[in-house]
Structure formats: C-alpha cells, structure tokens
Amino acid sequence: MRAADRPTRSPGTRPRRRAKRLVASALPIGLLAFVGWVLLRGGHPARPRLSGAPATTESARTTSPPRSRRRPARVVLAVAHARLLAAPLQDAAAARLGRDRVLLAGGLTAADVSSDAVSIVGPGSGRLLGPLPSALHDAAAVELGAAVYVMGGGDGSRQLDQILRIDARGRTAVAGRLPAPSSDQAAAAVGGTAYVVGGFTGSHWLDSIVAWRPGEAARVVARLPTPVRYAAVTAVGDRLIIAGGSLPSGTASRAVLLYDPARRRLRRIATLPAPTTHAAAASLGQTVFVIGGRGSALDTPTDRIVAIDLPGGRIRPGGRLPAPLSDLAATTIGDHILVAGGRGAQGTVADVTELTARAARPSTTAPTRAGTRRAVDVYAADGAGRLTGAARRARPLVYVPNSQSDTVDVIDQRTFRIVEHFAVGGLPQHVVPAWDLQTLYVTNDTGNSLTTIDPHTGRPGRTIPVADPYNMYFTPDGRYAIVVAERLARLDFRDSHTFRLHRSVPMPCRGVDHLDFSADGSYALASCEFSGQLVKLDVARERVLGALALPGGSMPQDVKLSPDGRVFYVADMMGGGVWEVDGDLLRVLGFIRTGAGAHGLYVSRDERYLYVTNRSAGTISVVSFRRRRVLATWRIPGGSPDMGNVSADGKVLWLSGRYSGEVYAISTANGRLLARIPVGRGPHGLCVWPQPGRYSLGHTGILR
C-alpha cells in the first residue's frame, strides 16, 4: 500500500497510514519475509513526438494505429492454480528466470517493512535463494541473459540508484547505476535492453524512459507526456506497453502508451476503462493484460483484468482475479501468467495465482444474469494435496460427532481404525475447522458449548460457552465466527478467537442450519429447513437482504457454491434433489433430481463434480458441474450417507451414516466402498482433516 503518491512529502520517505517505517538496514528480515515455498549515455534527448496527442497532457487524444489484416485471437485469463507464499509480500521486484521460474526480490512484508529476501517461485514450489545486499521495495526487475537485474527501489529512508545482477544461485553484484536514485518505477526488456519507466527520486517525479544494457551506461531515451509512478509495464515483441500509473496531480492515469525503441517513437494507443495505478502488466502473444491495481484512493484494490489486443489497441475485459489486489507482481511464464503477492482489502497477501488463457466466448450458462456474470475459480486453492499453514502439520484423521452419544470418534484415514474417543457436550452436531486452520471446534448444540480439538494430536482441549451452536461458519476475512443458532432462529456474529458476542441477526425463517458465501464473500445464502426458504445475508453489514421461498414442500439442507461462482446448489431433503439458485438475483434457475433425502454437498478436488448424499435412498449422486446433471449413482446397501468431505488427496469421500451408526470411506474413482466403520449413535457432521485451502469458512470444511 502506498499513500497519496503526492510530491509534497519529504525526500526519500514513503507515506504510510502506519507508524514510521523501520529502517531496513537496521532490521534485515529476509528470512522472515521468505516467500520460499511459494541506462547508457548521459544527457536528455529531445522529446519524441506523440502521434495524435500533445506531448505533455494526460488528456491526450487516443489515436488508433493501422488495422492489422489478421485479428489476434481473443482470450481472457482464468485461474489455473493457486497456492501461498510462506509469508505475505507486496511491491516485490519480479522477473522470469529461466523457462518456468520467477525471481522475487525485496518488497514489503505484512509489517510494512522492507525485505532483503531473494526467492524463486516455480510450478508448485518455491525456495529462498539468499539475501540482497540491503532491504528494498518498489524496485523494477527484468531478465537479461541468464540473470535478473533489479533496478533502483527504496529502503524506507532513501531511493537507490544501483542495478543489481542476481544469478540463478542467488549471487548478487552491482552491475550499473541509474541516472538518478529512484523508486516506484516499472521495467521491461526488449532486445537485450532494459527500459525503466517513470519513478520518484524522493523529491520529484520522473517522466523518463531510461535504457540500460550490461556493460554500458544508462541513458534517457524518451520522455513521457507527464511524470508517472507505479505504471504497469510489459513488452510485446520489440515494443513497450505502458498502462496507467499515478500522476503528480494526485489522480491515476487511464492512458495506454506504446513505445517503439527502434524508432524512438512514443504514442498513445488506448484508454483504460478506469483510472488505474499500482497494477501489473504481462503479455501472452499479442495481448497485454493489465492486472489488478487500484484507483487514486488508498485501499481501493480491484480484481479487474483489462485485455489490450495489439496492434490495434482494442480494450476489452480480460478476466478477473480471485480477489481484488494492488501492488502485485505479474510475470509471463510460457503460456501462463504468475501473479505473486500484493495488497488486498485486508492488507498484504501471500497468494500465488497462475492465470492461463482461454478463448473469450459467450457463457454457456442459462440465459440469466447468473449466466452473464464474470466467472471465477472459487476452489482454486483447494486442489489435491495443496495444504497450507497449520494444516500441513495436522494428523490425517476423521472426526465424527455422535449426536446421540455425546461423543466424538476419531478415525485414522490410513488404517480406517478408531484411534481416539472422547466425550463432549450435549448433542454434538458438526466438527468445524477454524478460519486459521489451527483448531477444530465441536458444536455441542444442547450443550451450549464448543469443544476445541488440537488437529496436531487429535485430542480435545477446552470447552467454550456458546449459545445454541447447531453449526458454525467464519466470515471470509476471519474476523467473526457465525454461529448458526437454529433453535434461537438467529445467526450470532462472535469474535473468531474469544467467541464474545458481537451481534445477533434474527432470521425471518424457521430452522436455519447451513450456508455458503458468494465468490467475493459479500453475501451468504442460508437454508431454513423448516420453512423451506433461503435467506440472503449481507456479511459486512450483518443484516438480512432478502428471502426466497423454494417451491412447495421443500426442506433445504446443505448449500454449496459452484466452482465458477455463478450458481448456489441447495440440497432439498423432501424434494429429493438439488436446487440451482442465482444468489445475486435470489431466484431459482433449475432443479436436479438425485435421490430421496438429499442432504450433503461436496466438491471434488478437480472441481468437476458435486457429490450429493441421498440419506434416505442410501446413495451418492455424482453431478457434473459442466453438464449440470447426474452422471453416476453410488449405492451403499443399508446405508444412510449424510455429511462429510473429500480427503486432501481427493481419492476418498468420507461420510457419516446418520441412522446406521457408522462411517463410510468411498473411492472417488469408482464409488467402491473401501471401509464401513462402526461409531457411536447418530453420527452427523464429520470433519475430514487436513483439507487443502488458504482459510476455512467453517461447516465441516468449506475452504477457499
């Protein structure tokens, strides 16, 4: 996060809402910020002519270059994979190193302190290479030859002019100097030359494009129409694209400029749909993507991706990030773009997201507003084996709350044997993973309490008084637990650590019991079993937005959002299937018949299928998200499959047998029953732990 980007601050300082930054040289923190896992001759030339626009005005008129005979294929970006860095990071210098790796250098930690870490992030992994000579942030980086060159930056007290060479082993050396110390610039490489765009010297903004190549001196080769900081810059072939950035007036730019180094010609080719700064840019083929960023105001990140098709400069939507981000790094690796770190709505993040291109085509979803909304990948972080944080250290166990025995049985996932058994409060309904993945909670409904479980040992801990905890969820920011008080007909927002009551939200329905959140976390849909309704809840404002009565005789149970974020699936125990609901419009889209007593909903690790438990029929229906129909039905003779989840590797579906006093382990490859394990009476909301994902939204394991 940067402050107002105004030129009035003291030289060498970087405005913040927080207290004065620690000087990086006094506190080397490379290991703490470890994200392991995951130019040439002096003088100022004359300003080049900007075709069709005054050279010094931001409101320059856009001109279109000659039309190409072949229109480039239109593509948008979609999330392919997601994982986490070892620690949050923003404003790092990033560049490709080799074929499939990205080097990250410096940046700011969650404590708003400069980092001296140099790390490599590759497919599915990351590691620390070593430290920089000193901590820095807001530098630029490019790959030239077999090394990455990091240019300028700030250390919290001053701007830097050094150009550091970093090789594949993390060894650093000073390779050159910029014409002046500066930070807040961006860079890209064309033909073995690095081009550094804009920046800030600590006392004035820069309007320069500086060229540098190893062994030569830096020189200014062009002037921008106005000074700029935090522009998004990338290269396409032998041209440089410069998009947006902060302006000295305190506003953000909408200009998209093209610089041709061979002709030393700079021209404006397009206009962004909104003023944008602190974004990143990367290219695939002849399309440039301006990714994330924010407006001129602080803490206004966007998830918008803007596509710019060259050579014509056509602007169009290019996809969406999983969450709004500014101050991020984006680097092209082969046929995808890797996005690392950044600043989200809740602060600095540790997200690493791989974006791949797909053809831009009309949605095949039903012709409603739900079918025309943008698509996201809700479960991008939930792929097989992608454990994070505390979940990595958890024992692979299954926790079974026996509602009629007031006990919990703990099953070893590998041996199918019970390894722990302990008493809890009255009528335990669900075992719920905490937002931070560090604790499991047994919701003791009539016991009016929560029992904690340490997932590292599988053993119970303390008892926390909480009124009527039938079920429990967590707000997407982790601030509050949402206790589903079914008997009291309300949702209780409580502090997620102390469980002190913050606010009770009365429900205009009977039997509230399950819910799930929209893709952006702004609202939730809660099912009301006894009145046949869905209630829409504004999460941030903690208030009811509306209610939807499902068709006659419905008894809604579990709720699950589709991977693309467009459709909520709602199990209907009386209707024998699942309703498809548009959460935005709060309207029914369709119904898929599965079997009698439809109850629990679980997403496969590859996001292709929804497993629907049909408790009365003794079956599990496998529903295709793409085709929106049942593809297979798995039978459990004499069984009553109820609630559970999929194992971390995606190979086993674990379910409680509500009326059978047993737990089922089922192969997701073919539906074969692997084990049938006797447990206590009335097993209900069992929890399979650990689970992949960055954080838990509650229930038996809804992770994102």
Of 122 and 532, more confident: 532
What are the residues whose beta carbons fall under 8 Å from the beta carbon of 427, sequence distance 6 or more?
A: 403, 406, 444, 445, 446, 447
How far apart are alpha carbons 468 and 128 in whole angstroms? 47
Rounded to an integer, the average pLDDT of 594-608 is 96
What are the residues whose beta carbons fall under 8 Å from the beta carbon of 638, sequence distance 6 or more?
A: 618, 660
Could you tell me the two tokens for 619? 């079956």
Rounded to an integer, the average pLDDT of 378-393 is 90
> Would you place residue 372 in the very low, low, confident or very high pLDDT band (cuts 50, 70, 90)?
very low
Of 56 and 97, more confident: 97
C-alpha distances in Å from residue 352, one per residue of 79, 303, 442:
11, 14, 32
Residue 267 has pLDDT above 70, yes or no: yes
The per-residue pLDDT of the chain, averaged, comes to: 87
* Per-residue pLDDT, 74: 76
Rounded to an integer, the average pLDDT of 106-125 is 88
Could you tell me the two tokens for 187? 């860079």
Residue 616 has pLDDT above 50, yes or no: yes
Quick one: what percent of the chain has pLDDT higher than 70? 86
Q: Cite the residue boundaries of each domain of the chain with CATH code 2.120.10.80.
A: 24-44+72-361
Q: Cite the residue boundaries of each domain of the chain with CATH code 2.130.10.10.
A: 389-689
> Would you place residue 298 in the very low, low, confident or very high pLDDT band (cuts 50, 70, 90)?
confident
pLDDT tens per residue, range 67-84: 444 455 578 888 766 667
> Would you place residue 44 in the very low, low, confident or very high pLDDT band (cuts 50, 70, 90)?
very low
Domain 24-44+72-361, what fold? Neuraminidase (2.120.10)
Rounded to an integer, the average pLDDT of 324-343 is 94
Query: For the purposes of burial, counting CB atoms within 10 Å of the CB of 146, is it exposed (0-12), middle (13-18) or buried (19 or more)?
Result: exposed
Of 366 and 238, more confident: 238
Residue 23 has pLDDT above 90, yes or no: no
Residue 274 has pLDDT above 90, yes or no: yes
Using an 8 Å Cβ cutoff, are 286 and 239 in contact? no
Using an 8 Å Cβ cutoff, are 619 and 577 in contact? no
Of 334 and 24, more confident: 334
Residue 335 has pLDDT above 90, yes or no: no
Produce one character per residue of 478-507: b if its CB has 16 or more CB atoms within 10 Å, e if not: bebbbbbbbebbbbbbbebeebeeeebbeb
pLDDT tens per residue, range 538-566: 999 999 998 999 988 899 999 999 999 99
How far apart are alpha carbons 319 and 364 in whole angstroms? 16
* Per-residue pLDDT, 15: 40
> Would you place residue 347 in the very low, low, confident or very high pLDDT band (cuts 50, 70, 90)?
confident
> Would you place residue 7 in the very low, low, confident or very high pLDDT band (cuts 50, 70, 90)?
very low
> Would you place residue 50 in the very low, low, confident or very high pLDDT band (cuts 50, 70, 90)?
very low
What are the residues whose beta carbons fall under 8 Å from the beta carbon of 577, sequence distance 6 or more?
A: 571, 591, 592, 593, 594, 595, 598, 612
* Per-residue pLDDT, 125: 65
pLDDT tens per residue, range 195-251: 999 999 999 999 999 999 999 999 999 999 999 999 999 999 999 999 999 999 999
Coil, strand, or helix at residue 11?
coil
Residue 324 has pLDDT above 70, yes or no: yes
Query: For the purposes of burial, counting CB atoms within 10 Å of the CB of 514, is it exposed (0-12), middle (13-18) or buried (19 or more)?
Result: buried
| Distance spanning both ends of the chain, measured CA to CA | 24
The CATH number of 389-689 is 2.130.10.10
CA angle 125, 127, 131 (to 5 degrees): 155
Residue 6 has pLDDT above 60, yes or no: no
C-alpha distances in Å from residue 614, one per residue of 22, 119, 123, 290, 589:
58, 48, 39, 46, 21
DSSP state of 477: T
* Per-residue pLDDT, 358: 82
pTM of the model: 0.54
* Per-residue pLDDT, 80: 67
* Per-residue pLDDT, 32: 40
What are the residues whose beta carbons fall under 8 Å from the beta carbon of 456, sequence distance 6 or more?
A: 390, 393, 394, 395
Among the ranges given (16-25, 80-89, 274-283, 641-650), the one the predictor scored with the smallest mean pLDDT: 16-25
Rounded to an integer, the average pLDDT of 159-187 is 96
How far apart are alpha carbons 547 and 606 in whole angstroms? 32
* Per-residue pLDDT, 73: 59
